[in-house]
Amino acid sequence: MLRTFLLVNFVFLSHLDLFSQSSFYAVDSLREIRIYFYDSDWDYQLDNLYIQGNNDRVLADIVIDGSSYDSVGVRYKGFSSVSVNRIKNPFNIKLDYIIEGQDHQGIDKLKLSNVYQDPSFIREVLTYEIAGNYLPSAQANYANVYINDTLWGLYTNVQAVNKDFLNDHFGNKYNPFFKCNPENLDISPGGENANLSNNQGADSLDYEPYYSIKSDYGWEELYNFIDTLNNYYDSIEQVLNVDRTLWMHALNYTLINFDSYIGYAQNYYIYKDATRQFNPILWDLNMSFGSFRLTDASSIYFSGFDIAQAQNMDPLLHHTQISVSPRPLLRNLFLSERYRKMYLAHIRTIVQEHFLNQDYHARGQYFQNLIDVSVQDDTNKFYSYTDFTTNLTSQVSLVTADCPGITQLMDARAVYLSAYTGFTGEPTISNISYSPQTFSLGDDVFITANILDATSVFLAYRFGENMAFKKAPMFDDGNHDDGIANDGVYGAKITNTSNLIDYYLYADNDSSGVFSPVRAAYEFYSIQSQLQAGDLVINEIMSSNVSVVADPSGNFEDWIELYNPTNSPISTKGLFLTDWPNSNLLKWELPNHLIQAQGYTIVWADEDGGQGDMHANFQLSNLGEQLVLTNLDSLVIDSITYFSLVNDISFGRSPNGSGSFSMLTPTFNANNDFPISVEQIFNKAMIYPNPFTEILYFEGDERIEVRNFLGQLIYSAEYVRSIQTSDWDAGVYFIYLRNKNQNLKVIKI
């Protein structure tokens, strides 16, 4: 293989990309939102819907920063922040409630919080800003809200944690996704709520009152996750992003955000990403910085705690004390001494980056100056203007309890945490390097670093974002490109490398642990070499996919199959696909997606990036055109020219991966040398007979939807093994298998 290289030196990479929605939620902007309800008794209607627990909406028009939208749907949002006796209630506004596809800068849902339990007005916005440095988090700013041209008040404008959020942060949105809020909050000792314990039993349906599913499927996956968390501790990293969970706990405990998993086990989401791990996502942060102090679910503070106790709250209470209400996501992780050290390392990072240096105080002053006039103009606010100016630094008396001043709480808390056992005494990591400096696909690469005062060190690495970080021990033994034994230089070997390596380091000793970079694994180091022509090939395309295979949204779209013919894994980061080779070789950039050796991946050519990272910004012309795969330097990795294709026929290489192109029976995501029928593409989905007459049988329990040739839904069911079809008309039907996210065509005769 030719050895020319592109080297990207050590850089910090964050998942907090510049999303299309970022400008709308920029923290230095103050939005104006005007709601015009169709009915004069709109507040009565909203009150009734809330009392009934009805999620229906009241119709209105809305103007957002001067842009008008018709027929939006409005309802209240939240639980404790809503009351039919309050004027200023929080709103959930759905822009596409009536008009399909209606959005504002790509946003179809607004979440407007009424700043309940926060005299400072800054808790939610400041907490989301801090959290965004360490894990996928919503963005938030402020909006002056008017109703029928009357100023209703200053609200926090919080980005919805929905499928668009998932697509932005995880690159897909169709996997199991749950909001972890119980239908009826249980505040009694032993109350379960959304605590992820397995006390509800062995049937996934028993967990429905505690978790709200936001995806098309996932109850079985949720139960398996809960079962593993509670019963198979050694396998937890297979189903849970442990590091991201430790970051969530670190943020909640550092900032005393106890209206969360820690308190009543609520106000968070979980999502199963492409690595097949569940990820926690923070939500509802208006009562952070000690505004909520009713419980911590432990034997010490189950009945609540005061401000002094909040300042000195032990971040390992659910390890050292009894959990009155089960908290396995804390207790079972804290069984590991290493996880405890990693958790405290994350707390150290938060405290040092925001609190010991008083950055949070400066940010709080900035936000209060930004909204000062708006707070004065808000005649429906729950607090006085004096409360607003005071609460940044000093406590304010509320009806339920005193709300601590943010600096009053956090200056003392930073001092307490800085003296906490495990906060200091960590190893030092410096002079990180790698060799060879010019590496090629498949080479062995050594990562080395100077590390002092460590008893254990590991390297975490991956070759693509759809791959979980793997851990490899680092040694100071003279056998891992680390110099001589016991010289303080540690090394680890990564064998058969990809063209891309993302990595971070962790070291600990008897006292404490440390990451490099300190925000790992949300940030990491990255190095990359350049692919050569032929390392990755366009293997098969379909420009007229009428009924062969549907994308995750259930639509039959054009697709491009990429094949890795090498014996090493390949990342698609830094590669581009284009159907305009003469004018724009860098038309669509592929994501950081790993393709295993001899493996395949599918790019959907549907102009719909809103469905996920692997959806290109162009479609394939059914009249034929040229398709080119390049890198950033416009080096052509592969290209094909195809001609007009008939429906449901593909154009692919034969022999697979290397031969010339010809028309094929589609071999979607599979070897072209073994053409199979369309039905056999779904070899895990046994449906018979096909064609059928009176009955269809399924091999295994299936969750299905059946649509006719016009796309009309005619049948759906949970976990069926057969369907009586005697009353169906003869013709073509499409069966969507929800468990497998697959579509299959069948014919009745």
Give per-residue pLDDT as tens, 326-364: 999 999 999 999 999 999 999 999 999 999 999 999 999
Architecture of the domain made up of 537-678:
Sandwich (2.60)
pLDDT of 118 above 60: yes
Rg (CA), the chain: 28
pLDDT of 722 above 80: no
pLDDT of 1 above 80: no
Residue 324's CB is within 10 A of a number of other CB atoms, namely 19
pLDDT of 318 above 90: yes
Q: Where are the domains of the chain?
A: 22-160, 426-527, 537-678, 684-748
Residue 3: partners with Cβ closer than 8 Å, 6 or more residues away: 438, 440
Residue 215: partners with Cβ closer than 8 Å, 6 or more residues away: 174, 175, 176, 177, 178
pLDDT of 15 above 60: no
Q: How far is Cα 736 from Cα 698, in angstroms, rounded to an integer?
A: 12
Compute the average pLDDT of residues 490-519: 98
Tokens 């022999």 belong to residue: 655
pLDDT computed for residue 710 by the predictor:
66
pLDDT computed for residue 263 by the predictor:
95
pLDDT of 516 above 70: yes
To the nearest 10°, report the CA torsion of 317, 318, 319, 324. 110
Residue 509: partners with Cβ closer than 8 Å, 6 or more residues away: 425, 426, 427, 453, 454, 455, 456
- Cβ 457 vs Cβ 507: under 8 Å: yes
Lowest mean pLDDT among 235-239, 376-380, 697-701, 729-733: 697-701
Left (φ > 0), alpha (ψ -120 to 50) or beta: where does 72 sit? beta
Q: How far is Cα 455 from Cα 432, in angstroms, rounded to an integer?
A: 18
Q: Tell me 572's DSSP state.
A: -
Q: Tokens representing 338? A: 């290493």
Q: How far is Cα 581 from Cα 469, in angstroms, rounded to an integer?
A: 36
Q: How far is Cα 519 from Cα 349, in angstroms, rounded to an integer?
A: 7
537-678 and 684-748 share one CATH topology? yes
pLDDT of 712 above 90: no
Q: How far is Cα 301 from Cα 291, in angstroms, rounded to an integer?
A: 15
Lowest mean pLDDT among 121-135, 521-535, 650-664: 650-664
| Predicted model pTM | 0.88
pLDDT computed for residue 16 by the predictor:
36
pLDDT of 268 above 90: yes
Amino acid at 478: G
pLDDT in tens, 543-591: 999 988 888 888 899 999 999 999 999 999 999 999 999 999 999 999 9
pLDDT computed for residue 287 by the predictor:
95
pLDDT of 260 above 90: yes
Q: What is the CATH number of domain 684-748?
A: 2.60.40.3080
Architecture of the domain made up of 426-527:
Sandwich (2.60)
Compute the average pLDDT of residues 727-735: 81
Q: How confident is the model at residue 291 (pLDDT cuts 50, 70, 90)?
A: very high
